[in-house]
Amino acid sequence: MKKIPFKAVAVDMDGTFVNSQNTYDRQRFRRVLDKLHEHDIHFIVASGRPLIRLEKDFAGFMDKIDVISDNGAILVRDKKIINTHYFTHQTTLKLLRYILSKHPNSSVIACGLSNSYVLANSSVNFKKFMNYYYYNYLTINSIDEIPVNDPIDKITLWTDATPEEIESEFNTDYTEQVHATSSGFNCIDIINHGVNKASGIKYFLRYFKINPSELIAFGDGMNDSEMLQLAGYSYAMENADPELKKIAKYEAPSNNENGVLKVLESYLN
């Protein structure tokens, strides 16, 4: 039997694993997941989506997969949070004040451990869009309404600024350092400095005692770049950002063609 060259799989969600209707073939995935487990291969979801959304996306599978949510800020194994990267409350307020001061037309949501918080003056379209991902969000009139005891791990915004501008401006003016990355749909995710999907994957690989050369990873956007650079087998989706395709070693069929499952089946079969 031909040896499968990887021991762990990492997949992005939007534009990669799920199709344009935010669904995937659950029965087909179950068959693939069972075969992966037969070969002691780990399946890691690495997404910018919050944990509450991913728990719904993978209902019935959470005890069989590992999860990296919020672009690396929260790691879950056996349905338990095992690692987190939260902002201090002080940094959260500084960051939000900076965004609202320098980019006042931005719409903002702060993702917390218990709830997520959307400013009341955020655009209607932003609130409607975010309701799918953060169905537990609360509307607040001021950032001072964010509870001290609900730490924030990620801030997502719609803005005219680029991730590079946000990161450079804040890191120049403040001692606290952050990382800003595109998360698709014209959104920017801001998380702690040094946190990304690859940092979360490295944590799991150390735990599993697996080398990055034994990792296969799939993505479509530039927030997947670090994990594709890490992986021994890196796949950009057919529908991926052209810049990501320059980084990836291989190309997978599009997310609307079950590209991830097709590639995995080709190895497993």
- Burial degree of 137 (CB within 10 A; 0-12, 13-18, 19+): buried
Question: Tokens for 267?
Answer: 């190895």
Identify the three-state secondary structure at position 186: coil
pLDDT band at 170, cuts 50/70/90? very high
| Domains observed in the chain | 8-84+195-268 (3.40.50.1000), 89-192 (3.30.1240.10)
Span 222-244, mean pLDDT?
Answer: 97
Report whether pLDDT(1) > 70: no
- Burial degree of 232 (CB within 10 A; 0-12, 13-18, 19+): middle
Q: What is the pLDDT of residue 6?
A: 98
pLDDT band at 139, cuts 50/70/90? very high
Q: Which residue has the higher pLDDT, 104 or 136?
A: 104
- Burial degree of 172 (CB within 10 A; 0-12, 13-18, 19+): exposed
The 10 Å Cβ neighbour count of residue 206 is 9
pLDDT band at 36, cuts 50/70/90? very high
Share of the chain above pLDDT 90, in %: 93
C-alpha torsion angle, residues 232, 233, 235, 241 (rounded to 10)? 10
Q: What is the pLDDT of residue 183?
A: 81
Per mean pLDDT, which range of 69-78, 175-184, 256-265 is the poorest? Answer: 175-184
Report whether pLDDT(125) > 80: yes
Cα–Cα distance measured from residue 251 to residue 72, given in angstroms and rounded to the nearest whole number: 24
Report whether pLDDT(185) > 80: no
Question: Tokens for 96?
Answer: 């939000």
Dihedral angle sign, alpha carbons of residues 204, 209, 212, 217: negative
**pLDDT tens digits, residue range 191-215?**
999 999 999 999 999 999 999 999 9
**pLDDT tens digits, residue range 96-106?**
999 999 999 99
Strand partners, 218: 11, 235
